Amino acid sequence: METIESADGRSLDVYVSGPPEGVPLVVHHGTPGAYVPVRDWERRAHAAGLRYVSYSRPGYGGSSRQPGRTVADVATDVEALLDHVGAARAVTIGASGGGPHALACAALLPDRIAGAAVIAGVGPYGVEGLSFLEGMGEDNVVEFSAALAGEGPLRTCLEEQAAALGDITVEQVIEALASILPAVDRAALEGGELGEDLVAAFGEAMRTGVDGQLDDDLAFVKPWGFELGAIAVPVFLWQGELDLMVPFAHGEWLAERIPGVHAHLLPDEGHVSLQVGAAQRALDELAGALAGLDDR
For residue 100, give the nearest of 131, 76, 70, 143 by alpha carbon.
Answer: 70
Round to whole Å and give the CA distance between 208 and 216. 15
What is the tally of structural domains in the chain? 1
Find residue 266's DSSP bridge partners.
240
**CA–CA separation, 18 and 50 (whole Å):** 7
| Distances, alpha carbon 207 to alpha carbons 151, 197, 202, in Å | 20, 15, 8
Q: Give pLDDT tens digits for 55-67.
A: 999 999 999 999 9
At residue 296, does pLDDT exceed 80?
Answer: no
User: For 203-245, how does the pLDDT look when each residue is reduced to its tens digit (9 = 90+)?
Assistant: 999 999 999 999 999 999 999 999 999 999 999 999 999 999 9
Proportion of the chain above pLDDT 70, given as a percent: 97
Could you tell me the residue range of the domain that residue 9 belongs to? 2-294
HSE toward the beta carbon, residue 151, CA cutoff 13 A: 9
pLDDT at 165 over 70: no
Q: For position 166, what pLDDT does the model report?
A: 61
Over the stretch 98-129, which tens digit does the pLDDT of each residue have? 999 999 999 999 999 999 999 999 999 999 99
| DSSP-derived 3-state class of residue 117 | strand
Q: How far does CA 120 lie from the centroid of its chain?
A: 9
Q: What is the CATH number of the domain that holds 229?
A: 3.40.50.1820
Please tell me the distance from the alpha carbon of residue 190 to that of residue 81, in angstroms, as a whole number. 33
